[in-house]
Amino acid sequence: MKILIIEDEQQLAESMATYLSGENYICEIASTLQEARIRTELHSYDCILLDIGLPDGNGLTILHDLKADKKEDCVLIISAKDSLDDRVAGLQLGADDYLVKPFHLSELSARISAIIRRKNFNGNNKISFHEIELDTFLKTVSIGKNILELTKKEYELLLYFLINKGRVISKDAIATHLWGDEMDMTNNFDFIYTHIKNLRKKLADAGCGDYIKSVYGMGYRFTNS
Amino acid sequence: MKLFTKYRQVNLIATSTILLVSALCYYMIVRQILIAQLDDDLTTEMQEVIDFVKTNDTLPLPVNNNAEQLFFTRVQQNIAGIHISTVPIFSLKENENEVFRQIEFPLSIKGKDYLATVREPQAETEDLIRYIVLVTISMLVVLLGILFFINRYLLKKLWDPFYKTLDELKTFSLSGKTKLNLQSNQVTEFAQLNEAVKSMASQVQQEYISLKMFTENASHEMQTPLAVIRSKMDNLVQDENLKADQLNQLNDIYQALGKLQHLMQSLLLLTRIENGQYVDNEIIPLDELIKEKCNQFHELFQSKNISLELNVQQKNIPFNKQLIDILLNNLLSNAARHTPEEGKIDVYLNELEFSICNSGENALNDKEIFNRFYKENNSPGMGLGLAIVKQICVFEHLHVSYNFHKRMHCFKISFMNSDSAQI
């Protein structure tokens, strides 16, 4: 899977590339509008991460050009502007999603994964990890032949873990992913623990191994090691 | 006290005093002149009597009428010189004392001494004086009245530009885009005043705008480095060789970062509300939205075993969608955070008001609770949540209040448009 990161902040672009490379994405970086234009004209990407505020112009023009050329690259806008107008303008131009800076890389990864899954609608909707099989179309989880009865939050939590498997995910990232940014919980993540506990129990009851590892009060890692 | 009133007071006191003093002086002077005139007449009369005596060597006939009295008294020892004086004489006719001016002088006829007295009534003089003074006073009163009215209308007209400027200033708003509309004036003082006010207002407005721009830009620009830090952190914690101690420190950085980000977003939000960037109101079914939000917070409440009592009636309200979201989020987050374990939260909505109450121990400072960065002891928040609530209510012309009743903290938003909601 090829991803183009259009971002003028070099440090941020590199971080994103580092994290996403671990997920088997091949990342290219463009830091100006001109560079980005050359790349998008020459190649096609599974997903383009687009920063709006670029030094030589508004990133939305790239989006405009892509749509005018009837290219099918998915576009995820990443912007420091979180005003509703920008969001609406971006989505109206045909962007697939909108992420406000600063964000967690695990969240970025989940969004990209969701966009690509939506696009490859006819492709594989199944994400599997050892005995766990998750169907993103039917929204079901099965362990072998057992179908798990998960709540909406537990399903989302498991999906988040599977997409970021092997990675440490901070509690803050989990809270933001499940409840959105607006719930101001100010580092009170006790209630996340309840969900983790329930999910763990349901997985164990279905005969699944315990893959959710706690990382020293920092967060969790979904891994078999 | 109005300027006119003050001026009129001073004016009235000053003119009345001058009027009284001048009337008194006038009275004295006229009286003096008339008495001198009377004395002249008496002296002429005396001269005539003396001349008569010299010529005829006998006393003239005494006279006694309304205008004049002349009589002679035989005396042993005559007085020396001439005496002029004012004497009250009892008059049978009028049955009261009448004032006369008299002149006494010695006469000597054939070796006999006489005291001659000539009297003329002073009453006529007094009457004359009275009339003159009366006319004078009435003239002055009329003059004063005319002056008063001229002052009144002239002053009003003169000060008119001042009041126009004042009215214009009253409607002036710092955040408003409108400039002061001050008319040019031919009177130098007012022209200067208008100039000074205009330049001050535009300077203040400019500074205010640049301050707001600064807040917005600063918060905005800080998002990028924050994003860099966060992404670097996200990558850093992936290192499997990190020790527990290092992970703990990284976790502290994460938490501080989260706070910082939240702070930036809150400040940005406050600035945007103040700038009036949220203008599109739509009809919000508040009851449904509240139920939805409570549902979202359900897990958070449950984790602390908080019981929620929801009592909402159907209510539609014109509101900005984003702002009402933020408002409810902040109030519910606030309640969730400060309600003790096993506590309770009451959410109440009817046609007139919306209130959200949560159990607690002690009343909070209701004067400061909505201030920015105000925090009760041990509050884990930033002290901006309620400031944002207040700002949103002010923006939407609603009144928000806090009270503590029966061990419940209550935040109430009244839907009646309230002027007291203005700051």
Per-chain mean pLDDT for chain A: 87
A217 to chain B, any CB pair closer than 8 A? The answer is yes
d(CA A18, CA B353): 52
**What is the reported pLDDT for B125?**
76
**CA distances (Å), origin A151, targets A141, A156, A199:** 11, 9, 9
**What is the reported pLDDT for B288?**
93
pLDDT of A20 > 80? The answer is yes
**What is the reported pLDDT for B421?**
40
B 257-296 → A contacts, CB under 8 A: 258-259, 261-262, 265, 272, 277, 296
- Tell me, what DSSP letter sits at residue A123? S
Picking from A12, A168, A215, the nearest residue to B227 by CB comes out as A12
| pTM given for the model | 0.68
More confident site: B342 or B122: B342
CB B311 within 8 A of CB B331: no
pLDDT of A45 > 90? The answer is yes
Q: Do the chains contact at B230 and A11, CB–CB below 8 Å? A: no
A224 to chain B, any CB pair closer than 8 A? The answer is no
CA distance B163 to chain A (A): 43
Beta strands per DSSP E along A26-158: 26-30, 47-51, 53-54, 57-58, 74-79, 97-100, 126-129, 132-135, 140-143, 146-148
**What is the reported pLDDT for A162?**
93
More confident site: B141 or A35: A35
SS3 for chain B, per residue?
CCHHHHHHHHHHHHHHHHHHHHHHHHHHHHHHHHHHHHHHHHHHHHHHHHHHHHHHCCCCCCEECCCCEEEEEECCCCCCCCEEEEEEEEECCCCEEEEEEEEEEEEEECCEEEEEEEEEECHHHHHHHHHHHHHHHHHHHHHHHHHHHHHHHHHHHHHHHHHHHHHHHHCCCCCCCCCCCCCCCCCHHHHHHHHHHHHHHHHHHHHHHHHHHHHHHHHHHHHHHHHHHHHHHHHHCCCCCCCHHHHHHHHHHHHHHHHHHHHHHHHHHHHHHHCCCCCCEEEEEHHHHHHHHHHHHHHHHHHCCCEEEEEECCCEEEEEHHHHHHHHHHHHHHHHHHCCCCCEEEEEECCCEEEEEEECCCCCCCCCCCCCCCCCCCCCCCCCHHHHHHHHHHHCCCEEEEEEECCEEEEEEECCCCHHHCC
Instruction: Tell me the average pLDDT across B367-376.
Output: 84
pLDDT of A75 > 90? The answer is yes
Picking from A172, A179, A183, the nearest residue to B258 by CB comes out as A172
Highest mean pLDDT among A156-170, B107-121, B182-196: A156-170
pLDDT digits (tens, 9 = 90+) for B122-142: 877 778 778 887 887 888 788
**What is the reported pLDDT for B168?**
86
A71 to chain B, any CB pair closer than 8 A? The answer is no
Q: Considering only CA atoms, which of B246, B256, B225, B277 is closest in space to residue B392?
A: B277
d(CA B336, CA B221): 32
Closest residue in B to A99 (Cα) is B227
Q: Do the chains contact at B380 and A186, CB–CB below 8 Å? A: yes
Inter-chain CB pairs, A–B, below 8 Å: 121
d(CA B302, CA A195): 12
Q: Which two tokens stand for residue B27?
A: 């009275």
Q: Do the chains contact at A83 and B272, CB–CB below 8 Å? A: yes
More confident site: B392 or B379: B392
**What is the reported pLDDT for B240?**
85
pLDDT of B151 > 70? The answer is yes
CA distance A14 to chain B (A): 9
CA distance A109 to chain B (A): 12
A178 to chain B, any CB pair closer than 8 A? The answer is no
C-alpha of B364 from chain center: 34
Contacts of B36 (CB under 8 A, 6+ apart): none
**With left for phi above 0 and alpha for psi between -120 and 50, is residue A94 left, alpha or beta?**
left
Q: Name which of B233, B234, B298, B376 to mutate to probe chain A: the one with the most chain A Cβ atoms within 10 A of its Cβ.
A: B234
**What is the reported pLDDT for B107?**
85
d(CA B263, CA B269): 10
| Long-range contacts of the stretch A20-27 (C-beta < 8 A, 24+) | A20/A105, A20/A108, A20/A109, A20/A112, A22/A166, A22/A167, A22/B238, A23/A109, A23/A113, A23/A163, A23/A164, A25/A1, A25/A112, A26/A1, A26/A2, A27/A2, A27/A3
Residue B402 binned pLDDT confidence (cut-offs 50, 70, 90): very high
* β-bridge partners, A199: none
d(CA B357, CA A211): 42
**What is the reported pLDDT for B179?**
74
CA distance B285 to chain A (A): 20
**What is the reported pLDDT for B420?**
43
- At A129, the amino acid letter reads F
**What is the reported pLDDT for A180?**
77
Instruction: Tell me the average pLDDT across B203-212.
Output: 86
pLDDT digits (tens, 9 = 90+) for A111-140: 999 998 888 766 678 888 888 999 888 889
pLDDT exceeding 70 applies to what percent of chain B? 97
**What is the reported pLDDT for B419?**
47
Q: Do the chains contact at A170 and B300, CB–CB below 8 Å? A: no
d(CA A15, CA A26): 14
**What is the reported pLDDT for A159?**
93
Residue A25 binned pLDDT confidence (cut-offs 50, 70, 90): very high
**What is the reported pLDDT for A200?**
92
pLDDT of B150 > 50? The answer is yes
Picking from A18, A82, A102, the nearest residue to B235 by CB comes out as A18
A119 to chain B, any CB pair closer than 8 A? The answer is no
Interface pTM (ipTM) of the complex?
0.86
CB A40 within 8 A of CB A48: yes
CA distance A79 to chain B (A): 9
pLDDT digits (tens, 9 = 90+) for A78-90: 987 766 677 888 8
Cis peptide bond prior to A102, omega within 30° of 0: yes
Picking from B226, B227, B250, the nearest residue to A218 by CB comes out as B250
B255 to chain A, any CB pair closer than 8 A? The answer is yes
CA distance B333 to chain A (A): 6
pLDDT of B275 > 50? The answer is yes
- At B340, the amino acid letter reads P
B403 to chain A, any CB pair closer than 8 A? The answer is no
Highest mean pLDDT among A22-26, B29-33, B211-215, B344-348: B344-348
pLDDT digits (tens, 9 = 90+) for B36-70: 988 999 999 889 988 988 888 888 888 888 778 88
**What is the reported pLDDT for B3?**
78
Per-chain mean pLDDT for chain B: 85
CB B345 within 8 A of CB B309: yes
pLDDT digits (tens, 9 = 90+) for B297-317: 887 888 788 999 999 999 999
**What is the reported pLDDT for B417?**
61
Residue B423 binned pLDDT confidence (cut-offs 50, 70, 90): very low
Residue A185 binned pLDDT confidence (cut-offs 50, 70, 90): low
B224 to chain A, any CB pair closer than 8 A? The answer is yes
**What is the reported pLDDT for A15?**
94
